[in-house]
Structure 1
Amino acid sequence: MKVLAVISLLCVLSIGYCQQSNIVQLAEQLGANTLVALVKEAGLADTLSGAGPFTVFGPTDDAFSKLPRAIIDYLKRNKTALQDVLKYHVVSGKVYSSQLSNELQAASLLAPAKIRINIYQDGKVITADGSPVVKPDQNATNGVIHVVDRVMFPIPLMSMVDMVKADRQLKTLLTAVSAAGIASALEADGLTLFAPTDKAFQNLPPGTLDGLLKNKTALTDVLTYHVVKGTTFSAGLANGEKVATLEGKDVSFSIEQGSVKVDNAKVLRADDAVTNGVIHVIDSVLLPPTYKRHFRVEN
């Protein structure tokens, strides 16, 4: 009996030493108290304690605390919405971090929504819809938990183009995309879009926007300079990193005191996950070097 007691204590103190806990019990042992409370409120505790197996991307308490209080209150009032958010964090089957690959799209329990996996910095950073995995491969009797530091919300159910259409700040960008005829290109999978706001377009030198809208080739060059092939969430960025755009030239990133810039444009809103990638809203229009000189824009 004493030996069994010691083994049970070790299971509690050293998660992964043995597999005596189901998903819900393990989440409690990991200190994911908010997650467990919401799982119980949603009526999903029995499911996640069942045979499974399941892979859960489990947000920390701090991750939930970063959500606006109004969202938490809404989810608590709306059981269906709460169930949807929690199901989106769960994949059927047991998937370890070694089985994850860059741009993998894992089908969540909330069909047809998928969780996009990205791997950055030679495997040092793994994200699920942009949320870094901070504690991978926590074993349970009926699956595995990967602890993440951000709640995957809102659930990405719109494509990149549909998200641009829905955002009231991006009307000028939508007009430009339509004029250039590149909407279909933005439907490809695994893209990153740096989306200038309407105000960003207004801040261009007088006549610049009109000139671009009248020159489809130039407009296409400028717009494709805002698109990177590959899904680049903010957690995957490194200071001074350069990436190639669809236009062909590189954009560079700078990170200072939590503020992220692409070239000299400040990221106003990062990590808007969409079904085919991610959008970062920026405060300035990016111009390829040749167009900066042509329009005499100094960035």
Structure 2
Amino acid sequence: MLKALRTTTLSALLMAAVAAPAFAANPEVGGAPMYENKNIVENAVNSKDHTTLVAAVKAAGLVDTLSGKGPFTVFAPTNEAFDALPAGTVDTLLKPENKDQLVKVLTCHVVAADAMSTAIEKMIKDDGGEHDVKTVGGCVLKAKEDMGKLTLTDENGNVAHVTIADVKQSNGVIHVIDHVLLPKM
């Protein structure tokens, strides 16, 4: 009887393990799992911390681009990062007549490469403590390490910290940041 119970229990455990859904190896972002087999847009739309970014990507007409083959590295500002901009900035950028400016701001958060944090850290070290990161939008960000954290400084001197690194996507990687990076205007 005990042997039959063990066999039944073992069989049940094995069946449960086989039937269990596969969980993402990535960290959760905005309370949502991030799946390596989904693209940047497919994952970002599920993050409750990135609703402003997703709305901006849609308004800028960049959904197809960021759903494309890539590879892309996206430094993804949170809703709190957008909220920290001067009052009215986001509403102004989302207006159709400001689409070009919105595209410029957003593409200054995108690099045409799959750059995991270890690769960025190596470039920083190889360059003597600071590495120039050229973005799709033509901005040059300064990447540094500050007390073990990756930071990015935009062309205006604003500093963003990477709060969640290495969120793998099917077409690149996302690094969550705590400030919006702005081009020189």
TM range (shorter): 0.7 to 0.9
Q: Partner of 1:199: helix, strand, or coil? A: helix
Other-structure match for 2:29: none
Other-structure match for 1:183: 63
**Residues 155 and 203 of structure 1: CA distance in aligned 2, closer, same or farther (over 3 Å):** closer
Q: What's the Cα RMSD here?
A: 2.5
Structure 2: distance between partners of 1:233 and 1:200: 22
Other-structure match for 1:192: 73
Q: TM-score, normalised by structure 2?
A: 0.74
Poorly superposed stretches of 4+, deviation over 4 Å: 81-85
Aligned length: 150
* Pick aligned residue for 1:254 from 140, 144, 152: 144
Q: Partner of 1:204: helix, strand, or coil? A: coil
Structure 2: distance between partners of 1:278 and 1:183: 16
Identity percentage of aligned residues: 37
Question: Is 1:280 aligned to 2:161, yes or no?
Answer: no
Amino acid at match of 1:173: L
- After superposing the two structures, state which structure 1 stretch, 190-199 or 254-263, moved more: 254-263
Q: Is the 8 A contact 2:34 2:43 kept in 1?
A: no
Q: Is the 8 A contact 2:133 2:142 kept in 1?
A: yes
CA offsets per residue over residues 257-290 of structure 1, 9 Å max, x none?
Answer: 2111111101111111010000011101110022
Structure 2: distance between partners of 1:190 and 1:170: 20
Larger Rg: 1
**Residues 234 and 78 of structure 1: CA distance in aligned 2, closer, same or farther (over 3 Å):** farther
Q: TM-score, normalised by structure 1?
A: 0.46
Structure 1: distance between partners of 2:92 and 2:57: 15
Structure 2, unpaired ranges of 5+: 1-13, 27-32, 154-158
Other-structure match for 1:289: 184
Asked which structure has the greater RCO (Cα within 8 Å, sep 6+), the reply is 2
CA offsets per residue over residues 41-91 of structure 1, 9 Å max, x none?
Answer: xxxxxxxxxxxxxxxxxxxxxxxxxxxxxxxxxxx9952388968xx9xxx
Question: Is 1:163 aligned to 2:47, yes or no?
Answer: no
**Residues 256 and 181 of structure 1: CA distance in aligned 2, closer, same or farther (over 3 Å):** same
**Residues 154 and 202 of structure 1: CA distance in aligned 2, closer, same or farther (over 3 Å):** closer
